[in-house]
Amino acid sequence: MADPPGCCRPCATCLLCLCCCQWITAKKEKRKGLRTTKCDCGWFLFLFCVFLFTLVWLYFAIIILNDFHNFNEYIFKQTKLWLDWSLVLLIATTVLITYSAVLLVLALCLQLCGQPLKLHWLHKTLLILTALVVAAAFTGLGIKWAEEWRSARISLQATGPFLHIGIVGGMTLLAWPLASFIYRTRNTGLKVFLLFVYCTVMIALYLAPLGITSPCIMEENQLPPKPALVGHRGAPMLAPENTLMSLHKAVDCDVQVFETDVMVSADGVPFLMHDEKLIRTTNAQDVFQERAALNSTAFNWTDLQQLDAGSWFLERRPFPTVQSLSADDRSQVTKQRIPSLEQALEAAKQSNISVMFDLRPENHSDYQSFVNATLEVILQSGIPLQQVLWLPDGFREQVKQQAPGIQQIYGRKRLRNEKEPLLHVNLPYQDMSSEEIRQYRQDNISVNLYVVNQPWLFSVLWCSGVSSVTTNACQVLKEMKHPIWLLPSSTYLMIWIVVDCVSVLAILWAFLLVKKCSQRRRAAESETDVLLTKINSLMQE
Predicted confidence (pLDDT) per residue in 364-376, tens digit: 999 999 999 999 9
As a whole number, mean pLDDT of residues 459-469 equals: 97
Backbone angles phi, psi at 457, to 5 degrees: -70, -40
Provide the pLDDT for residue 32.
Answer: 47
| Contacts of residue 343, Cβ cutoff 8 Å, sequence gap at least 6 | 244
110-142 pLDDT tens trace: 777 767 777 888 889 999 999 999 999 999 988
Whether residue 528 has pLDDT greater than 80? no
Residue 523 binned pLDDT confidence (cut-offs 50, 70, 90) = low
Whether residue 24 has pLDDT greater than 60? no
| Greater model confidence, 183 or 502 | 502
Tell me which of 186-190, 356-360, 498-502 is least confident.
186-190
In percent, how much of the chain has pLDDT > 70? Answer: 89
Whether residue 311 has pLDDT greater than 90? yes
* List of E strands, 173-327: 228-232, 257-264, 270-272
| Contacts of residue 436, Cβ cutoff 8 Å, sequence gap at least 6 | 413
Rounded Cα gap, residues 107 and 95, in angstroms = 18
Provide the pLDDT for residue 80.
Answer: 85
Backbone angles phi, psi at 417, to 5 degrees: -105, 50
Provide the pLDDT for residue 33.
Answer: 47
141-191 pLDDT tens trace: 888 888 889 999 999 999 999 999 999 999 999 998 899 888 888 788 888
Contact of 476 with 455, CB cutoff 8 Å: yes
Tell me which of 205-214, 376-385, 523-532 is least confident.
523-532
Contact of 321 with 238, CB cutoff 8 Å: yes
Please, is 179 exposed, middle or buried when counting C-beta atoms within 10 Å of its C-beta (0-12, 13-18, 19+)? buried
Residue 539 binned pLDDT confidence (cut-offs 50, 70, 90) = low
Rounded Cα gap, residues 228 and 449, in angstroms = 11
Across the chain, mean pLDDT equals: 89
What would you report as the CA-atom Rg of the chain, rounded to the nearest whole angstrom?
32
Provide the pLDDT for residue 308.
Answer: 97
Provide the pLDDT for residue 29.
Answer: 46
Residue 25 binned pLDDT confidence (cut-offs 50, 70, 90) = very low
Rounded Cα gap, residues 471 and 227, in angstroms = 11
Can you give the residue ranges of every domain in the chain?
7-145, 160-214+490-540, 229-271+338-478
Whether residue 504 has pLDDT greater than 90? yes
CATH class as words, domain 229-271+338-478:
alpha beta
Rounded Cα gap, residues 357 and 259, in angstroms = 6
Buried b (16+ CB within 10 A) or exposed e, 198-222: beeebeebbebbeeeebbbbbeeee
**Torsional sign, CA 302, 304, 306, 310:** negative
Rounded Cα gap, residues 404 and 390, in angstroms = 11
Backbone angles phi, psi at 266, to 5 degrees: -60, -25
Q: Which residues are 356's β-sheet partners?
A: 259, 389
As a whole number, mean pLDDT of residues 36-41 equals: 79
Whether residue 496 has pLDDT greater than 60? yes
Rounded Cα gap, residues 310 and 319, in angstroms = 14
Please, is 418 exposed, middle or buried when counting C-beta atoms within 10 Å of its C-beta (0-12, 13-18, 19+)? exposed
Tell me which of 236-245, 503-512, 518-527 is least confident.
518-527
Backbone angles phi, psi at 398, to 5 degrees: -65, -40
Whether residue 344 has pLDDT greater than 90? yes
Provide the pLDDT for residue 21.
Answer: 54
Whole-model pTM: value is: 0.88
406-449 pLDDT tens trace: 999 999 999 888 777 889 999 999 999 999 999 999 999 999 99
